[in-house]
Structure 1
């Protein structure tokens, strides 16, 4: 899914070719090792990394959902970056330039089904203000 979201940014990822990153979810004791290979995110074997990003599950979720700025989490010592932080900064800039389209999978449905589903969802969100409500619910649920 990440590679699909970042497909348009593939030329920017080339600069990170071969770089290894680990994201550690400190309170769950879980780690995700990945690297950039041929302009795409790929799993990496456990071992030495160029950048370590660590935080609690809540803080990493808040970061992923863009509820908190990475700098805010870092300076509040809720997010740890170790190693070549320039890699993290470059990747952050790539992510900041991406407009997340949660409806992208609908585009793969054949016409007229895909466009009709998208219109129906857009209308329902507009009428119910579900996007704002969901943001508020997630913000409250993921409070530090």
Structure 2
């Protein structure tokens, strides 16, 4: 399972990085700290990410339902140690769905998912595969995003 998760994580990171570029290329960017270019994920979710909520494809429905019902936890400090905290799970908006996908990325990138081996590999597989499926669906559902990521129109 470790090799499968490694490959899935690579695909997820690559597409997520392409999204970071695409959002800024599409005008969903802003100046952050020290004028660093940052993507405007919330505005993007509210304007384009809504396609994820409208999709009727059974795989997309299953993926978004999984993330809404089993959102990724967030790392917090408790008594000087990193621990996992539940995320409030009442809002069913595109902005929240995209926030869950971003948290999957953050947990993975910032080292919360492995220490020599994958932590809770079954859950990691579900979170990564569902998040990747939603990101891929959105690329195919929005011509502007597809163009920004793939370099050619749908």
Larger Rg: 1
Higher RCO, 1 or 2 (CA under 8 Å, sep at least 6)? 2
Answer yes or no: same fold by TM over 0.5: no
TM-score w.r.t. the length of structure 1 is 0.31
Instruction: Give the structure with the higher percent helix.
Output: 2
Instruction: Give the structure with the higher percent strand.
Output: 1
